[in-house]
Amino acid sequence: MTTAPAAPVAAAKAPSGAQQKILAFASLIVLLVFFSVASENFLQTSNILAILQATSVNGVLAIAATLVIITGGIDLSVGTLMTFCAVMAGVVLTYMGLPLPLGILAALGTGALCGLISGALIAKMKIPPFIATLGMMLILKGLSLVISGTKPIYFNDTPGFSEISTGSLIGVFLPGVPVPNGVLILFLLALVMGYVLNRTVLGRYTFALGSNEEAVRLSGVNTDAWKMAIYALSGAICGIAGLIIASRLNSAQPALGLGYELDAIAAVVIGGTSLAGGRGSILGTIIGALIMSVLLNGLRIMSVAQEWQTVVTGLIIIAAVYADMLRRRRAG
């Protein structure tokens, strides 16, 4: 026999997204240990709560971005959509003086509708997601300023609005652990969306679209409708972020929002979701968002200048994406 020995029957199981998640989780632990040693203030309950509080808005937006990115798309409008939803809540609650539940509904409905529009631009009009959501980003930023007359809308007339984010339901039952509601919402949302992604039809199609959209279409699935549904759900989640941030500031700040989309995408990428689509997880995204908050908080505690904090964030993003590239190259 002169032929080469038979190649291994099946390639070793390709490294899965789980490895990237473990890598991200390990990085988080390393950061926590490092900052705990570097500064005794770091591990104090108040600081931990501050980190979680700081994660809540970016974390929720990152969950919204995760959905879209797994389909192989991108959403640049999550930040300004968040603000637009907050403004619409302000219109309903403060301008119109309607009760709180309607304000919440306005924020979520606005988010879902705007997401649906983005989805339609992408699925029906075949506009590349980057361009469609870039357009939406600017449109929504402009509309927020127009509707609010460029001035913040305060929620002073709506009792309980600030409780949405800053109150602590957990603190009522466990007085020692006053976890703010904003954080509670983030983790509940993460649980729900983790379930949706892994256990429902919508979640299945989210992964399938990112994996091979044409194959899904040829299987007789209405890919356009599902894509629009996913963008709408993502938009509704931006509405939740809008409520959290408006509640924390007790106002809708129309000029806010730009730049949040990049932080959200960064968290998603650090968490191991592939920008090529098809793979990703909510757990990874939450870890990614926590890494960013811990890093910024820790550097601040160590009195590193804010300019350098930004530089470090950039380095982390590049390192995370490079790790993803290495993983996929090995997976072939």
Partner 1 sequence: MTELVRMTAIDKRFPGVHALKSAQFDLVSGEVHALMGENGAGKSTLMKILSGIYQPDGGTVAVEGKSVTVQGPRAAQSLGIGIIHQELALMNDLTVAQNIFIGREPRRSFGRLDEGKLNEDAESIFKAMNVAMDVRAEVRTLSVARQQMVEIAKALSYRSRILIMDEPTAALNDAETNELFAIIRRLKSEGVGVVYISHKMDEIRRISDRVTVMRDGAYVGTVAAADTPISTIISMMVGRDLENTDVDIPDLSAAPLALEVRGLNRGRTIRDVSFTLRRGEILGFAGLMGAGRTEVARAIFGADVRDSGEIIVHGKPCTIRSPKDAVGVGIGYLSEDRKHYGLALGLDVRSNIGMTSLFRFQNRFGVVNDNALAVVAKDYIAKLAIRTPTDRQEVRLLSGGNQQKIVIAKWLLRDCDILFFDEPTRGIDVGAKAEIYRLLQSLAAQGKAIVVISSELPEVLRLSHRIAVMCEGRLTGILPGGAATTQEHIMRLATLRQGALEEATA
Q: Does 10 bind partner 1 (CB under 8 A)?
A: yes
Q: Is 8 exposed, middle or buried (0-12, 13-18, 19+ CB in 10 A)?
A: exposed
Q: Kindly state whether residue 215 participates in binding partner 1, applying the rule CB under 8 A.
A: yes
Structure tokens at 98: 């309607």
Selected binder of partner 1 within 78, 183, 208, 296 (CB under 8 A): 208
Q: Compare residues 191 and 255 and give the one whose CB is closer to partner 1.
A: 191
CB of 151 to partner 1, least distance (A): 42
Mapping DSSP to helix (H, G, I), strand (E, B) and coil, where does residue 153 land?
A: strand
| Measured distance between the N- and C-terminal CA atoms of the chain, rounded to whole angstroms | 30
Q: Decide if residue 3 touches partner 1 (CB under 8 A).
A: yes
Residue 291 CB, nearest approach to partner 1 (Å): 24
Helix (H, G, I), strand (E, B) or coil at 4: coil
Q: Which two tokens stand for residue 55?
A: 């994660």
d(CA 253, CA 98) in angstroms, rounded, equals: 20
Does 199 contact partner 1 by CB under 8 A?
A: yes
Query: Closer CB to partner 1, residue 85 or residue 229?
Result: 229
DSSP 180: -
Distance CA 184, CA 56 (A): 9
Contact between 272 and partner 1 per CB under 8 A: no
Write down the least CB distance from residue 198 to partner 1, Å.
Answer: 9
Q: Which stretch binds partner 1 (CB under 8 A): 77-85, 140-148, 168-176, 201-209?
A: 201-209
Site string for partner 1, 172-191 (x = CB under 8 A): --------------------
Are 57 and 182 contacting, i.e. CB atoms less than 8 angstroms apart? yes
CB of 290 to partner 1, least distance (A): 25
> Judged by CB under 8 A, does residue 329 bind partner 1?
no
What is the Cα–Cα distance from 126 to 175, expressed in whole angstroms? 52
One-letter amino acid of 163: E
CA-CA distance, 256 to 277, in Å (whole number)?
29
204 or 248: whose CB is closer to partner 1?
Answer: 204
Which of these ranges, 123-131, 219-227, 233-241, 255-263, lies near partner 1 under the rule CB under 8 A?
Answer: 219-227
Asked if 279 touches partner 1 (CB under 8 A), the answer is yes
Q: Does 248 bind partner 1 (CB under 8 A)?
A: no
Which of the ranges 13-21, 73-81, 147-155, 295-303 carries the binding residues for partner 1, by CB under 8 A? Answer: 13-21
Stretch of 144-152, 159-167, 206-214, 230-238 lying at the interface with partner 1 (CB under 8 A): 206-214
Residues 306-331 as b/e (b if ≥16 CB within 10 A, e otherwise) read eeebeeebeebbeebeebbeebeeee
Q: Contact between 331 and partner 1 (CB under 8 A)?
A: yes
**Does 4 interact with partner 1 (rule: CB under 8 A)?**
yes
Q: Is 9 exposed, middle or buried (0-12, 13-18, 19+ CB in 10 A)?
A: exposed
Cα 97 from Cα 119, distance rounded (Å): 32
326 lies in the site for partner 1, by CB under 8 A:
no
Closer residue to partner 1 (CB): 98 or 221: 221
Judged on CB neighbours under 10 Å (0-12, 13-18, 19+), 249 is middle
List interacting residues with partner 1 (CB under 8 A): 2-4, 7, 10-11, 13-14, 16, 199-204, 207-208, 210-212, 214-221, 278-279, 331
